Structure 1
Amino acid sequence: MKSVELFAGAGGLAMGVTLAGFESLAVAEWDRWACDTIRENQHNGYPLVKDWPLWEGDVHVFDWSSIPEGIDLLAGGPPCQPFSMGGQHKAFGDKRDMFPVTVEAVRRLKPKSFLIENVRGLTRTSFHEYFQYIQLQLEFPEVARHNGETWLEHLKRLREEKTSGALHFNGLTYNLFPVLVNAADYGIPQKRERIFIVGFRSDLGVEWSPPDTTHSLDALLYDKWVTGDYWERHRIPKSCRPAVPERQIKRVEKLGNSVLPNVHKPWRTVRDALVDVPDPREEGASFFRDHKFQDGARVYKGHTGSPLDLPSKTLKAGVHGVPGGENMMVCDDGSVRYFTVRESARLQNFPDGYTFHGAWSEAMRQLGNAVPVALARTMACSIAEQLALAQLRNLANEQRSSSRKMA
């Protein structure tokens, strides 16, 4: 199966797509530092990225004719700053809004499916109409915006198109499945909420639903304060174990009086993710690549760091994350320090052998913008499965048609 990745950044989403079995025909990114990260890993022969056809530049001028129509998957995470909770919230008024060029790519490439990731802020009430506008453009990519037409005027035409249903019979349309997911529910050691817009070309007849979650907070609470297995696993003596947080007491009591179904694994915590990673201040810690201590961490209002025994808070990019307090951990003694690049890469599921180009702040920006690799793989695998089933249905229909003609 063939894919194209837009706004690839350091490669998190593209890695997940590759792990799901797709072959990249183009990996597009404009940021030089992120491209240098990919190039450095290609130079080092890192297996997942060594054959990527990296294209550095503004995707507005990408030569779409170089890619055959009907590829299996178009994937990308358009820059999130226009919609981020920590950004300026300009949405359609922000020049960094790359949803229009994403729609153009869908229009030109006519992919069988697409996977688009963005921040939870896109779903906020103040962006309701623009979020609907994005979805309708992706649903009806051939209903293009006219010169001089405002986005609200275009939205009105798209709504009329959806009501009439004319294009559903003779044009390029997609069935959309937007879903809000928490990365922690899929085994990522980070409470990272993101919106995924999954689309399948209407002629494929796909009905998609998000992959079943695999991890839960209840399972973690049970592991900590009902069985104590979590603390035993990390060799934390009983005298050093914290008390049940007051806000969780009733929940833990309820869990203790029931048999927890063996459905979910516990949320993975910062301690779980970094169990074999030494403190960067220790001698020999430099054995881990990109694991250098960064001084200057401090607590301030709204930025208190991530406790060790929960999934981390969302890693951030930009002025609110670098050097903001959310990109730091709260140590066992209550002190705080910044996550190193390697620790942050662990929280985003990047392999230990993957190198990040640039200084700490630049590498952290790339990581804060990335899609967790394992989450990207999970989503892409679910799409690949549906594409394979659609192909089987198509073959079965062709065989039935051929049999009828022979009869």
Structure 2
Amino acid sequence: MSDLEVVEICAGAGGQVLGLERAGFRHRLAVELDANAARTLQHNLIKVLGYTEKEAEDAVRVGDVADPKVWNPDEHRGVDLLAGGVPCPPFSIAGKQLGAGDERDLFAWAVKLCGRMKPKALLLENVKGLSGSRFTAYRQHVLDQLQDYGYIAEWRLLQADQFGVSQLRPRFILVALQPQYAEYFDWPTPRTTPPPTVGELLRDLMAQGNWSEEKLEEWVKRADGIAPTIVGGSKKHGGADLGPTRAKAAWEAMGVDAKGVADDPPGPTNPRVKGVENPMLTVEMVARIQGWYGEDFSDWEFLGGKTSRYRQIGNAFPPPVARALGAAIRDALLKKGERHGLVEKAEVVHDPVYKILRSQKRPITTEQLVVKLAKNGTPLEQPEVERRLAHLGRDFKLTKTQRSNGDTAFKLGEFKAFLGQEEHQRNQIFARQAALFS
């Protein structure tokens, strides 16, 4: 392996930690808000990854990652990798997609942290919603910021099932590297063989229940696909269940009751497959679906009550995906493989409206934007420009000026996201509702 080190923020219960460790990184520091998840992480650094008690204690910090009393980023300048899975609700389709206006948004803060710490590489993961049209300007701002910091950055949507996980689970990944390492980076190649079905994956665990071999095989045959995306939920809402209505319907088709998580395999406390109701999954089964299985990943032990353990698993980055990304970044940092040209040096434009507004010193009208876009080779009709302006106004301060002829002119202001400002609403809300943040 190597002596590469990583600092990980919003580390959770260790899905990304385990994957990166298996890829050859050693954790200099892992910061996590939830005390139960941090206990799970520290426990497994010792039990699974061979850290001493002192090393594990030093490596795990518990508290708000943006609180300077919890850790000092300047102590880790130049670390090999800065990684993390910052909160998803600001971008989730299941939520309001408030983006920079959501007090839980730490993505922009993490990018600024990269500029401060100057790691050789950056790895951030989030939900698929961040890849949508709602956030074109947000993504553009991130790329522009990283370019200013001297990084070559790229987004990519990856599916967990492409890397052996029996679950769809699309994740939107940002990788950024300093140019000398970016020349050696290639995105990990998806596997050519599909992952096991839910039935195949869980047969031995379901067999521990009190039902016949015939009924078990009927269930295995019924559960013949991969799982819907496991949803960890948040502390603001009830107990553990397997997701929204559409996900519950998909689970039902596979013979699983998704309205909760069971204490035991099918038996007296968990209905059998045949009959009016289907069995619920146990926490151990959910962990396996999330990627904690196989020789490299199966020994991880989750601490806390059932709901806490389920949330730790459901909110995690699947370890096999983290390992694949970690291995690709490791090889780039070690300059392994074939060196190639930096296609990424060509300017990537996610939102041409944002790009024009960013370069404008004076307010500009919608009609003027349409003309400039056409000249730049990125023509957009006025309704699309207006839609993008509406999205921009949710993440940036957008000043509107009424001209004498009745036209409205727009000027791009500052990013609304939390970037560490002491006076930002995020700090005030966090101080009042810290126990509900997740």
Q: What TM-score do you get using the length of structure 2 for normalisation?
A: 0.61
Does 2:380 match 1:377? no
Matched, 1:47 2:49: yes
Distance 1:192 1:205, change over 3 A: closer
Deviation at 1:320, TM superposition (A): 9.0
Matched residue of 1:197: which SS? strand
For 1:384 and 1:84, locate their aligned partners in 2 and report how far apart those are by CA, in whole Å: 30
Which stretch has the larger CA shift, 200-209 or 104-113?
200-209
Distance 1:123 1:75 in 2: 19
Q: Does the CA-based 8 Å contact 1:205-1:390 persist in structure 2?
A: no
Aligned-partner SS, 1:377: helix
Three-state SS of the structure 1 residue aligned to 2:157 is: strand
Q: Deviations over 1:310-343 (max 9, x none)?
A: 1111000214993245475633648433321101
Residue 25 of structure 1 pairs with residue 2 of structure 2: no
Q: Specify the code of the residue in structure 1 equivalent to 2:312.
A: Q
Q: Which digits, 9 at most, give the CA deviation of each residue in 1:53-92, with x for residues without a partner?
A: 101111112211322x222111111111111122221111
1:309: which partner in 2? 224
Could you say which residue in structure 2 is the equivalent of 1:401? none
Give the paired residue count.
289
Q: Flag the 1:279–1:65 CA change in 2: closer, same or farther, 3 A.
A: same
State how far apart, in whole Å, the 2-side matches of 1:385 and 1:272 are.
33
CA change 1:70–1:383 in 2 (3 A) is same
Identity of aligned residues (%): 32
2:205 is paired with a residue whose SS is: coil
The one of 270, 273, 289 equivalent to 2:201 is 273
Amino acid at match of 2:226: P
Q: Is the 8 A contact 1:177 1:198 kept in 2?
A: yes
1:76 & 1:16 partners in 2: Cα distance? 12
Does structure 1 retain, via aligned residues, the 8 Å contact 2:91–2:99? yes
1:345 aligns with 2:287: yes
Amino acid at match of 1:41: N
* C-alpha spacing 1:266/1:39, structure 2 compared with 1 (3 Å): closer
Equivalent residue, structure 2, for 1:323 = 241
1:336 match: 278
Provide the secondary structure at the position in 2 that maps to 1:337.
coil
Distance in 2, Cα, partners of 1:102 & 1:64:
11
Q: Does 1:365 align with 2:311?
A: yes
- Counterpart of 2:109 (choices 97, 101, 107) is 101
Distance 2:180 2:86 in 1: 26
1:199-210 matches, cutoff 5 A: 199-206=176-183, 208-210=185-187
Match of 1:247 in 2: none
Q: Secondary structure at the match of 1:107?
A: helix
Alignment of 1:135 onto 2:53: no
Please show how residues 89-168 of structure 1 align to structure 2 within 5 Å: 89-140=97-148
8 Å Cα contact 1:15/1:49 also seen in 2: no
Residue 279 of structure 1, CA deviation: 4.8
- In the other structure, the counterpart of 2:350 is none
Q: CA deviation at 1:133?
A: 1.8
Q: What's the secondary structure of 1:338's corresponding residue?
A: coil
1:378 to partner: Cα distance: 0.6
Task: Say whether the 8 Å CA contact 1:26–1:55 is kept in structure 2.
Answer: yes
Match of 1:358, SS state, is coil
Deviations 1:11-58 (A, max 9, x none): 100111111111111011111121122234356x23266644101111
**Counterpart in the other structure of 2:269:** none
Residue ranges of structure 1 left out of the alignment (5+ in a row): 141-171, 215-263, 284-306, 394-407
Q: For residues 117 and 7 of structure 1, do their structure 2 counterparts lie closer, same or farther at Cα, with a shift above 3 Å needed? A: same
The one-character-per-residue Cα deviations of 1:249-296 (angstroms, maximum 9, x if unpaired) are xxxxxxxxxxxxxxx21332112322321356439xxxxxxxxxxxxx
Cα distance in 1, alignment partners of residues 312 and 111 from structure 2: 24
The structure 1 segments of at least 4 consecutive aligned residues displaced by more than 6 Å after TM superposition are 390-393
Give the Cα–Cα distance (whole angstroms) in 1 for the partners of residues 50 and 140 of structure 2. Answer: 35
The answer (yes or no) to whether the contact 1:177–1:208 under 8 Å persists in 2 is no
- Cα deviation per residue 1:323-375 (whole Å; 9 max; x = unaligned)? 24547563364843332110111112224432222222221211111010011
1: CA distance between counterparts of 2:230 and 2:99?
21
The aligned residue for residue 335 of structure 2 is 389
Q: What is the aligned counterpart of 2:167 among 163, 177, 190?
A: 190
Moved more, 320-329 or 94-103: 320-329
Name the SS of the counterpart of 2:176 in structure 1. Answer: strand
Residue 17 of structure 2 corresponds to 14
Match of 2:62 among 50, 56, 65: 56
Do the aligned partners of residues 381 and 186 (structure 1) sit closer, same or farther apart at CA in structure 2, a change above 3 Å counting?
same
In the alignment, is the contact (CA less than 8 A) between 1:323 and 1:361 conserved in 2?
no
Instruction: Label 1:48 to 1:336 Cα distance change in 2 as closer, same or farther (>3 A).
Output: farther
Secondary structure (helix, strand or coil) at the match of 2:203 reads coil
- For the pair 1:65 / 2:74, whether they are aligned, the reply is yes
